[in-house]
């Protein structure tokens, strides 16, 4: 089975985030970056599929030079191959532009199952998986907590409002992964050593036959105007320090906040 995992290098969710002076981006110096947490579930699921069905796991990322760290993490977890889509032309690309580049790469990489995280914890858009599926003309199941693959078919379960949907479809397909699907393994020491030495395939826009107006800023159809801090919540009222405060709390919720 040819399993491909699309991954992203993102700021650690615990990192302190600061804006640049022009509010156009977040300050990147000294920012701790990690493999997108949702992509960890995807890498783990890829490894489990390989254990069950045999084959190879290829991790693919689009990003600047530092993004190769995400590929090294995936390799250390056990991925067999790594592909880095890297080109100045890719800079500033939104989900649509990024998906175009990834789809172009996937047309050259054999794939029975394409896995990725439900969304990146930085932009939280969650569009790339679906966009890639549409561009490749294959099915999708997004935000999956259970996956079974049998021959050329899959069955997946995904939480939705008020319950769970069971999705079935044919392979190849894009499956995006979320918490509950599996327990991602830690990289082993031999895995880390092997990952350091592994040669990563690098592909640019020209290698993928992508003209400049299809990728990066030019290929995007959304544009960020600015970033800002949300309004700060002013500290609320400490109503009391024990059970005796409950009567007053209920009164406040009814009469002041009017939420009861």
Partner 1 sequence: MPSILVIAETRDGTVRPTTLEALGEARRLGETLGLPVHAALIGSGITALAADLPGTAKVFTVDEPALADYSSDSYAVVAGQIVAESGADLVLLAATARGRDLAGRLAALLGAGLAQDCTATAVVEGELCLIRPVLGGRLRERVVCTGSPRLVTLRPKAFAAGPAAPAGEAVKLPVALDPSGIKAAVRQFLPAAGSLDVAEADIVVSGGRGVGGPEGFALLEQLAQVLGGAVGASRAAVDSGWRPHTDQVGQTGKVVSPRLYIACGISGAMQHLAGIEGARCVVAINRDPQAAIMQRADYAIAGDLFQVVPALVEALK
Residue 104: CB minimum distance to partner 1, A: 13
Least distance from partner 1 to the Cβ atom of residue 176, Å = 10
CB-nearer residue toward partner 1: 75 or 208: 208
CB of 149 to partner 1, least distance (A): 13
> Could you please report the per-residue DSSP string of 83-137?
EEE--GGGTT--HHHHHHHHHHHHTTS--SEEEEESS-TTT----HHHHHHHHHT
Residue with smaller CB distance to partner 1, 56 or 180 = 180
Distance set, CA 9 to CA 14, 69, 191 (Å): 15, 7, 19
The minimum distance between CB 26 and partner 1, in angstroms, equals: 7
Cβ contacts of 49 within 8 Å, gap of 6 or more: 1, 3, 55, 57, 113, 149
Q: Which residue number, 14 or 54, has a Cβ lying nearer to partner 1?
A: 14
β-pairing, 113-117 vs 2-7, is parallel
φ, ψ at 220 (rounded to 5°): -85, 155
Of 32, 100, 103, which Cα lies nearest the Cα of 70? 32
In angstroms, give the least distance from the CB of 195 to partner 1.
25
Closer to partner 1 by CB, 151 or 236: give it: 236
CB of 190 to partner 1, least distance (A): 27
Nearer to partner 1, 189 or 229 (CB): 229
CA angle 168, 101, 169 (to 5 degrees): 5
Name the residue nearer to partner 1 (CB basis): 189 or 225. 225
What are the residues whose beta carbons fall under 8 Å from the beta carbon of 92, sequence distance 6 or more? 216, 217, 220
């Amino acid at each position: 089975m040819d399993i491909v995992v699309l991954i992203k290098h993102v700021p650690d969710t615990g990192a302190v985030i600061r804006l640049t002076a022009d509010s156009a981006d977040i300050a990147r110096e000294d920012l701790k970056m990690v493999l997108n947490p949702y992509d960890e579930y995807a890498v783990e699921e890829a490894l489990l599929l390989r254990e069950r069905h045999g084959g190879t796991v290829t991790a693919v990322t689009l990003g600047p030079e530092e993004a190769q760290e995400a590929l090294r993490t995936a390799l250390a977890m056990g991925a067999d191959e790594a592909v880095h889509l890297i080109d100045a032309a890719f800079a500033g690309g939104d989900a649509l532009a990024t998906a175009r580049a990834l789809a172009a790469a996937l047309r050259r990489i054999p794939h029975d199952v394409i896995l990725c995280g439900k969304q990146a914890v930085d932009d939280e858009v969650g569009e790339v998986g679906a966009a890639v599926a549409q561009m490749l003309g294959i099915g999708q199941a997004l935000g999956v907590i259970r996956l079974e693959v049998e021959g050329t078919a899959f069955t997946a379960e995904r939480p939705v409002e008020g319950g769970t949907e069971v999705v079935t479809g044919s392979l190849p397909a894009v499956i995006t992964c979320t918490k509950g699907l599996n327990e991602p393994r830690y990289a082993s020491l031999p895995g880390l050593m092997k990952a350091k030495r592994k040669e990563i395939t690098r592909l640019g826009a020209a290698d993928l036959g992508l003209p400049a107006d299809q990728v990066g800023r030019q290929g995007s159809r959304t544009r960020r105007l600015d970033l800002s801090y949300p309004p700060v919540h002013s500290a609320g009222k400490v109503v009391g320090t024990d059970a005796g405060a409950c009567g007053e709390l209920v009164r406040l919720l009814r009469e002041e906040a009017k939420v009861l």
